[in-house]
Amino acid sequence: MSGPVLEVVGVTVRHGGLVALNDVDLSVEPATIAGLIGPNGAGKTTFIDTLSGFTRPRTGRISFDGERVEELAPHDRARRGLVRTFQSLELFDDLTVRENLLVAEATPTLRATVTDLFRRKDQRSPRAEELLDDLGLAGWADRLPTELSNGQRHLVALARAVVARPKLLLLDEPAAGLDPAETAELGEILQRLPELGTSVLLVDHDMALVMGVCHVVNVLDFGRVIATGTPAQVRSDPQVVAAYLGSEGRAS
């Protein structure tokens, strides 16, 4: 379909008396990596929670793939291809990397059965094998998550989120806790997702990552979008420099 994969118009969210998101408009185009940056407390996580259905907006519209979703439960949004990852990673430690992808590929109702089936070894699916290859993770296919580094587990969790072919993947600080080499690898993987049919909304404080992989960057400050543009446009926007990029320590 044409048109944005995600279109948010006039979304306002309150936490008690606090306005966490104030009349936010934001779109993500197909085959695009969009960034969302801003100081701590700006409302970035609230925005991800609102998109994925864990927080209800007070006002506003959220259209995903051309349909309104703000009344849908999180699992219904995920089933339509609006998917997020969690910091807990949610990997099964007693299944191999390949098996973790296979479980994620199965529909939720089939998952329990499928998990049992994996006790019979050497299950494969073309999609999971292709994704492991495309993302450069094939070498870990037979390993258990517990045998991998923290950074490698993050990459497997990302692959796991992508195996069901989401149209939009929401990532809240995926580089947190990764070392520079792991962050670079994360960046390379993210850049392959649009051609695999997945757009990305990336929240992170690592400016090298965000500016390096995003086609468009949105800046939040006190719940408002204060800038939207290419990385170069946003980096040189005086309001953005004042609110976020100016003080080295905050956006390092």
Ligand X SMILES: Nc1ncnc2c1ncn2[C@@H]1O[C@H](COP(=O)(O)OP(=O)(O)O)[C@@H](O)[C@H]1O
Residues that bind ligand X (CB under 6 A): 15-16, 18, 20, 38, 40-46
Binding site for Mg ion (CB under 5 A): 44-45
Please identify, using beta-carbon distances, which residue of 163 and 171 lies nearer to ligand X.
171
Rounded CA separation 128/141 (Å): 10
15 binds, among Mg ion, ligand X, none (CB under 5 to 8 A by kind): ligand X
Place of tokens 């864990």: 54
| HSE toward the beta carbon, residue 30, CA cutoff 13 A | 8
Please identify, using beta-carbon distances, which residue of 45 and 63 lies nearer to Mg ion.
45
State the minimum distance, in angstroms, from the CB of residue 177 to ligand X: 16
Rounded CA separation 28/38 (Å): 17
Exposure string over 109-129, b if 16+ CB within 10 A, otherwise e: eeeeebbeebeeeeeeeeebe
Tokens of 249: 């320590």
State the minimum distance, in angstroms, from the CB of residue 44 to Mg ion: 5
84 binds, among ligand X, Mg ion, none (CB under 5 to 8 A by kind): none
State the minimum distance, in angstroms, from the CB of residue 246 to ligand X: 17
3 state SS of 148: coil
Please identify, using beta-carbon distances, which residue of 103 and 251 lies nearer to ligand X.
251
**Rg of the chain over all Cα atoms, to the nearest angstrom:** 18
Please identify, using beta-carbon distances, which residue of 51 and 141 lies nearer to Mg ion.
51
Tokens of 58: 């007070």
State the minimum distance, in angstroms, from the CB of residue 247 to ligand X: 16
43 binds, among Mg ion, ligand X, none (CB under 5 to 8 A by kind): ligand X
